Amino acid sequence: MSLKIGILALQGDVAEHAEILTILDAQITNVRRESDLTDIDGLIIPGGESTAIARLLIAYKLIDPIREKIIAGLPVWGTCAGAILLAKEVTNLDRPSLQLMDIRVTRNAFGSQIYSFEKQLHVEGINGDPLNAIFIRAPIIEDVGQDTQVLARLEQGPIVAAKQENMLATSFHPELGKDVRMHQLFLDMCVQSASSGDKYVSIER
């Protein structure tokens, strides 16, 4: 089954996600307007700068259409800035965003760009060797709600990956490495959702 994955293409790591999805045989749609959301099986909100992406989401009138799709069951994965935009609660984001996922996030939790780092990370649901996770001015997930599953922590400490129903958030950048397993995990969520009958059952959030 070939999946069609939308990548929000307003700012950030769009090409890098597309490259990995292509390796995994997914079709790609760059999402810049509401009509681009039609017929996609999943949506990636890439890393970049959350304030800039939020401003463009507002300018392109995409907040409500994307929220509606996610609430209706569309699988979504936010990486880094994308995770910030998905979070219900964010410290220091100065404008509205999607605010759907039951996570509390702090932006730039490790300091400025020079404090970027890579770490071997065990992620729940990914077997074999740990992932080489790349953190660039990364957020951390301070807390998650009852229905949100923690998928990874940095050295038993801060949460850096979480999943709630059809929503996945990582504070690192799997699209910047060669490892395709995190993208495969998201595609598996999309396959499950596409083949389940309850894809468009609306959940109030």
- The catalytic position among 80, 165, 183, 190 is 80
Taking CB under 6 A as the rule, does residue 50 contact ligand GLN?
Answer: yes
Nearest distance from C-beta of residue 33 to ligand GLN, angstroms: 22
45 binds ligand GLN (CB under 6 A): no
For residue 151, which phi and psi values (nearest 5 degrees)?
-105, -25
Residue 183 designated active-site: no
- 15/72 with CB nearer ligand GLN: 15
Q: Is 173 a catalytic residue?
A: yes
> Does 6 contact ligand GLN by CB under 6 A?
no
Cβ-based neighbours of 135, under 8 Å, separated by 6 or more: 110, 116, 117, 118, 119, 160, 171, 172, 173
Q: How far apart (Å, rounded) are the C-alpha atoms in residues 125 and 65?
A: 30
- Of 48, 75, 78, 174, the residue at the interface with ligand GLN (CB under 6 A) is 48
Total number of residues binding ligand GLN (CB under 6 A)? 11
